[in-house]
Each structure stands twice: as C-alpha cells, then as structure tokens.
C-alpha cells in the first residue's frame, strides 16, 4: 500500500518557495542528509518496517553515500531492510559499462553496505527498445508495491532538470525514455571523454514519480549552480524548469552551500527583505550592488538612491550618504596591492591542483613575486593525466619512433613501448582506464608543459614539484576520497619548505571536485602542524570563476604586458589548448579567454565603481 506523501510543511524565507538550508561547507550537506536518512532507517528498523530510498548518481550525492558507508561500518547502521530505487540511467547502457549508473551505485554505495541485492532497483538501460515502455511501467509498479519512496535524493542540472526530466517534462510524467537536452549532454561530456560519446537518451523517473515521495532532499553546490538554484527556489513554476515543480511538494528541503546560494535574495541582497546587521563585509557588498543598480560611481550615490533600495538604515548608521560612500571607496582602494605591497624575499608555495591552475589563476602575481626575489615552489598536486587526449600520446610516441629512426634513441627501447601503446589505443573504448604506460606518457606531457609554463614567468624548472597525490591515481574521472597518504605528502612539502605564504585553489566549481579535494589535503596537513607557524593562506580562482570585488581581500593589478605574459604561460599547456578534455560544461571558452575576460572584467568593475582604472586584475581571498 502506498503510504502517500507526508503533510509536514516548512516555512520558507521571504520569497523562497522551497524550504532551503544554506550551509558553509559542502561536507555539512552530506552529514545533514545522511543523518536524516540514518534516522529514518533506524526508526523503520525499530518498527519492523522497511525503508524505501530514492537515490541519485553523479558527484552531488557522493558525500552522502560516503557518510552512510561510514555509519554502516563504524556505527552499525544496517541496510538489510532498505529498498532502493534509482532516479535514472542512460540508454542504451550495459550494466557493466564504466559509464553506467548501475556500476556507479555498486562501486560507490551498495558493495560497501549490507543491502540485499534483490532490494536494489535501477532503471533499465539494457533492454531492447521495443520493451522499454513495458520495463518503465514495471519500474513504476515496483515502487508502488514497495509502498512508495520514503526519502528521495535529488541533484539539479543546469537546465533545472531533476532526474533526467528535461525542459518540457510535465508534472504528471512517470518513468519513461527521454531525449537528453543538448546542455545536459554537454555537461556530461567530460565523463564520457567527449560529447559525441554521451548517449542521446535516458530512462528516468518522471516528475510525478518524484513528487510522490514522502520527503525530498535536493542538493546543489558550487557557484555554477547559483542561478538555477535561485530560479528553482524563487521563480514561478515552469514546465521548462522541472525543479520548480518541487514547490508543490509539502516536504522538500533544498540543501545548498554558500556558493550555490549566492544568488538567493536573502544571501545576495538581504536588506531588501528584512532588517540587517550592517557588518563591514555586508556594507561593501550592499554599496557595490547599489552602484551597479544605479549605474553611478560610489562617490556619486545619493540619499534617494539609498532610500529607494531600502538602505536608509545604512545612511543613518554613518550620518550621511557621503560618509558611507567615502568609507566604502577607501576600503575598496585599500584592497589594491601592486608589486611594492606584495611579499619580498619570502618562502612561498603555490599549490596547483592540476598542472595549469597556477598560470591560469595566478600567473600575474607569480610574475610579480618572482620579480620581488621570493623563493617560490610550485607544487602540482595531481598529474592531470586523464585530461590529455589520446592523439597527443600518439604524437609523442611518433616523435620517439622518429628519434629512433635517426639513431638518437635505442630502437629496442622504443619499439616495445610504441607497440604496446598503439595496441592499447586501438582497442580502447571512450572512458576506459588507460594502461600504466599511457598514463605515464600523459603525466609526463603535462609535467613538461607545467615546467615550460613557469619558465615563461621567470621561474626556474627546479621550482616545480610534482606531488602526484594518490587520491587522483584511479585512471578515471571520479577519484578516491582524500586519505592520510595524500595529507602526508602535502605535510612533508610544508615541513621541507616552511613557507611564509601559500596559495591554494579556492575555485570550488571545478566540475569534478579536484580543486576542493586538493584543498582538503592542504587543510588536513596544516591542521596536523600545530607546532609550526601557520603560513598566510591566499585563495585564488580563475579557471571557472573569479572572486567578486566585494569578496576579494586583495586585488592585484596587471599591466597589458603582464597579462600578455600570463596568457603566453597558459599557451605552454598545449594539451589543454584549443579543446581541453575537461573545460567544464558551463563555459565554452578556452582557459586563456576566460582569464583575459575575468581579469579585464575585474579591473573594469573597479573603474565603474569610480576607482582607479587598471588594465586587468587578479583577485584573492586571505583565509
């Protein structure tokens, strides 16, 4: 018997039509959702009843599954009476494919817990097309026979899709075969090592199937999700944005980190909906916003401008618009750090998650720090080898063979390697894990590019350290969790160098989480070094986002020549040029184009606010 949806309701913040929980750290989301699931399972187990979970795939719920596995192993949480139904599966898709959600779920959850395989249900991706409608109906029947879904986990796509309910999916839709939206396929391209390999169809639970769940948790993290989160939470219900249908559900909670919540009214412009405490950071953000809204420089903002924007209390706090304007203008000016205000003669480590993040994100300041005679180490945390195309490997192997033809390399050392690599690449399917020899060639390609990049900025090749953290060495897009060996490698470098200052990637919109995971390893290493003076930590961005002016602690101006040199350093990463394997699904531009636009855009923003005009700028946050 279907128990029906819960009637529990939650009051939302003003303008929010779905209850939304904003947390500071994405790991808090995993704990919150996993704890809710664990509580539900324990309650049902105690009552002698089974629990029915609706599960999602992809990077969004990975943290939840890892926490559930921990609870099972360390706290005795039993899944023996749990029944699961997954949201979707690509079509056609064999169960044993590296891309199948069937395989994903067993690798990332089911094989680590005590669930009965008979209780696991995943939409069929391997049935004949003539049988797909019947199979979809059976899936709906199985959910009904289980008593309906107690708790459903969702992610949200760039189009606002939940499951694979693309734009145009109706509120009454049920499990069915759907055609994937072009945006969805582009977002999935990196998982399949090319958009051309992404299936064009999928089997998905329908919107009505999802809404039948008694409780729903929808999760989003990262700046790139902030716009669609706002649309889903605050916008009108729209068939073109399936997530908006969740507004009709009586017990849905949206869990978002601070980055994904950035566009919500209560986060972006809280003074528009309620009385606020005017902290320094909020004052800066509010005045910049007002300047942007009015099109006026900060020093030209008037009493009427503040009153119309519900910011009269801010003027009252300082006594006059001029006082507010002057204070913010001076605070912004104090953020600007030219070469003379940067470190001189210090020990510095730049941690680069991939072998190009250093020049992409902080190539300008690196050049200035070189000129200031600092002792700099650039630590490349992962090999980045999966982000090298196979055709690049063929090109380098051909180079070795030609060197052997001319007698410059011993042929008996080249031929076996070349034959093995060529054979592997000929039979390789898209996304298949490379053999060790190919992985090594790809690693070496990226290492050579990295050295060339920092040499362009004036650093010696000896400044490069290649850490090759173990978590990355899966040969697949999805990585292992950060573990003690990763932290130990980072800690050893910190102890060897004893830096005064370190630079760390704070770009949390990395589509596969490598930046986030590398920062986790660094944070872990720093936490262990309690008896060592903590270095000053500067966070950079650039590959996917830039720090907004109101968040940045320091703005580093770049001249036209410095920006050109930075772009030349980026060009040295030839394997990532023209068409990078993992550009991120929400920005089609090359990395150098993003850099040029963002660095010039930051400078232009300061100009519009009425501050000094610069050619380009990099932005940093001090942790």
Mean pLDDT, residues 588-598:
91
- Judge if 38 and 174 occupy the same domain: yes
Q: Residue 377 phi/psi, 5° resolution?
A: -115, 130
Residue 9 reports pLDDT greater than 50: no
Q: Is residue 411 part of a domain?
A: no
- Please name the residues in contact with 257: beta carbons below 8 A apart, sequence gap of 6 or more: 22, 23, 24, 25, 26, 28, 29, 220, 221, 222, 508
Is a pLDDT exceeding 90 seen at residue 530? no
Instruction: Answer whether residue 3 is part of any domain.
Output: no
- Pair 312, 346 in one domain: no
504-523 pLDDT tens trace = 999 766 655 889 899 999 99
Catalytic option among 16, 67, 140, 166: 166
Dist CA 243 CA 176 (whole Å): 18
Mean pLDDT of 149-178: 94
Residue 184 pLDDT exceeds 90: no
Predicted pLDDT of residue 7? 33
Could you give the dihedral angle defined by the CA atoms of residues 110, 112, 115 and 118, in that order, rounded to the nearest 10 degrees?
50
Please identify, among 265, 297, 312, the residue that sits at the C-terminal boundary of a domain: 265
- The reply to whether 190 falls in a domain is yes
In the annotation, is 495 catalytic? no
What's the confidence (pLDDT) of residue 132?
Answer: 96
At 6, is the pLDDT very low, low, confident or very high (cuts 50, 70, 90)?
A: very low
* Lowest-confidence pick of 22-26, 211-215, 397-401: 22-26
pLDDT at 37: 98
pLDDT exceeds 60 at position 93:
yes
- CATH number of the domain to which 525 belongs: 3.40.50.10320
Same domain, 207 and 300: no
Task: Provide the percentage of residues in the chain whose pLDDT is more than 90.
Answer: 83
| Whether residue 83 is found in the same domain as residue 113 | yes
Confidence at residue 430, expressed as pLDDT on a 0 to 100 scale: 76
Residue 55 tokens read as 């599960």
Cβ(380)–Cβ(391) below 8 Å: no
In this prediction, residue 195 has a pLDDT band, given cuts at 50, 70 and 90, of confident
Q: Say if residue 3's pLDDT is above 80.
A: no
Domain limit, last residue, from 265, 291, 315: 265
For range 400-413, the mean pLDDT:
94
Cis ω before 234 (30° cut-off from 0): no
Weakest mean pLDDT among 12-16, 58-62, 302-306: 12-16
Contacts with 424 (C-beta within 8 Å, 6 or more apart), sequence order: 434, 435, 437, 438
Lowest average pLDDT, out of 225-229, 282-286, 425-429, 478-482, goes to 478-482
pLDDT at 145 over 90: yes
pLDDT, position 235 = 96
Indicate whether 5 pLDDT > 50. no
Domain match, 259 and 302 both: no
Range of the domain at 311: 270-334
Classify 212 as helix, strand or coil. Answer: coil
Q: 546 and 578: one domain?
A: yes
- Report the range of poorest mean pLDDT among 106-115, 235-244, 578-587, 598-607: 578-587
Q: Looking at the structure, tell me whether residues 164 and 182 fall in a common domain.
A: yes
Domain shared by 86 and 153, yes or no:
yes
Do 230 and 284 sit in the same domain of this protein? Answer: no
Same domain, 316 and 240: no
Question: Residue 441 — very low, low, confident or very high, per pLDDT cuts 50/70/90?
Answer: very high
Same domain as 185, residue 42: yes
- On whether both 344 and 329 belong to a single domain, the answer is no
Which pLDDT does position 578 carry in this prediction?
81
Q: How many domains does the chain have?
A: 3
Lowest mean pLDDT among 8-17, 143-152, 332-341: 8-17
Can you give the pLDDT at residue 14? 64
Phi, psi at 298, each rounded to 5°: -55, -45
Q: Which of 317, 334, 351 is the last residue of a domain?
A: 334
Average pLDDT over residues 228-245: 96
Best CA proximity match to 103, nearest among 82, 120, 80: 120
Report which of 325, 316, 157 is spatially closest to residue 243, judged by C-alpha positions: 157
Given a cut of 50, whether residue 21 has pLDDT beyond it is: yes
Residue 568 lies in a domain: yes
Nearest Cα neighbor of 454 from 370, 527, 516 is 370
With vertex at residue 210, the alpha carbon angle to CA 144 and CA 55, rounded to the nearest 5 degrees, is 90
Please tell me the pTM assigned to this model: 0.86
CA distance 22 to 19: 10
Averaged pLDDT, 486-493: 98
Q: What is the pLDDT of residue 158?
A: 85
CATH number of the domain residue 187 falls in: 3.40.50.1360
């Amino acid at each position: 018997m279907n128990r029906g949806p819960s009637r529990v309701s939650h009051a939302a913040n003003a303008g929010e039509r779905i209850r939304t929980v904003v947390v500071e750290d994405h790991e808090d989301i995993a704990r919150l959702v996993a704890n809710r699931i664990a509580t539900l399972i324990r309650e049902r187990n105690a009552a002698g009843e089974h629990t029915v979970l609706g599960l999602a795939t992809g990077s969004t719920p990975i943290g939840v599954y890892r926490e559930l596995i921990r609870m099972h192993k360390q706290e005795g949480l039993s899944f023996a009476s749990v029944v699961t139904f997954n949201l979707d599966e690509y079509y056609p898709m064999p169960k044993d494919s590296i891309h199948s959600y069937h395989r994903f779920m067993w690798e990332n959850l089911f094989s680590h817990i005590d669930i009965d395989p008979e209780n696991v249900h995943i939409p069929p991706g391997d049935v004949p097309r003539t049988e797909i409608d019947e199979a979809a109906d059976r899936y709906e029947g199985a959910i009904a026979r289980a008593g309906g879904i107690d708790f459903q986990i969702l992610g949200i796509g760039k189009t606002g899709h939940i499951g694979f309910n693309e734009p145009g999916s109706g509120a009454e839709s049920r499990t069915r075969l759907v055609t994937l939206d072009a945006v969805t396929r582009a977002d999935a391209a990196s998982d399949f090592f090319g958009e051309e390999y992404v299936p064009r169809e999928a089997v998905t639970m329908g919107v009505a199937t999802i809404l039948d769940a008694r409780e729903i948790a929808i999760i989003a993290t990262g700046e790139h999700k902030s716009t669609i989160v706002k649309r889903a939470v605050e916008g009108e219900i729209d068939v073109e944005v399936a997530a908006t249908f969740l507004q009709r559900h009586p017990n849905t909670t949206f869990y978002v980190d601070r980055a994904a919540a950035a566009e919500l009214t209560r986060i972006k412009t809280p003074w528009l909906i309620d009385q606020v405490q005017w902290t320094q950071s909020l004052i800066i953000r509010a005045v910049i916003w007002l300047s942007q809204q009015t099109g006026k420089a900060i020093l030209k903002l008037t009493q009427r401008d503040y009153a119309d924007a519900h910011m009269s209390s801010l003027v009252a706090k300082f006594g006059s618009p001029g006082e507010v304007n002057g204070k913010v203008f001076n605070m912004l000016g104090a953020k600007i750090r030219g070469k003379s205000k940067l470190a001189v003669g210090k020990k510095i480590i730049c941690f680069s998650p991939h072998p190009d993040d250093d020049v992409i994100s902080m190539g300008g300041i690196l050049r200035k720090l070189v000129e200031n005679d600092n002792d700099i180490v650039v630590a490349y945390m992962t090999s980045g080898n999966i982000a090298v195309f196979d055709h690049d490997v063929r090109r380098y192997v051909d180079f070795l063979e030609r060197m052997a033809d001319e007698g410059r390399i011993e042929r008996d050392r080249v031929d076996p390697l070349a034959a093995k690599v060529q054979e592997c690449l000929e039979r390789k399917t898209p996304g298949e894990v490379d053999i060790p020899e190919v992985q090594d060639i790809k690693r070496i390609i990226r290492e050579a590019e990295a050295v060339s990049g920092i040499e362009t900025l004036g650093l010696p090749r000896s400044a490069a350290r290649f850490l090759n953290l173990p978590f990355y060495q899966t040969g697949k897009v999805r990585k292992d969790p950060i573990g003690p060996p990763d932290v130990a490698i980072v800690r050893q470098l910190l102890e060897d160098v004893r830096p005064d200052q370190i630079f760390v990637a704070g770009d949390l919109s990395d589509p596969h989480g490598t930046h986030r995971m590398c920062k986790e390893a660094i944070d872990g290493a720093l936490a262990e070094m309690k008896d060592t003076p903590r270095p000053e930590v500067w966070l950079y961005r650039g590959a996917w986002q830039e720090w907004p002016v109101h968040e940045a602690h320091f703005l580093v101006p770049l001249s036209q020549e410095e920006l050109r040199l930075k772009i030349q350093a980026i060009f040295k990463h030839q394997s990532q040029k023209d068409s990078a394997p993992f550009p991120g699904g929400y920005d089609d531009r090359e990395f150098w184009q993003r850099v040029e636009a963002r660095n010039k855009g930051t400078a232009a923003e300061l100009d519009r606010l009425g501050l000094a005009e610069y050619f380009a700028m990099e932005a940093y946050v001090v942790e």
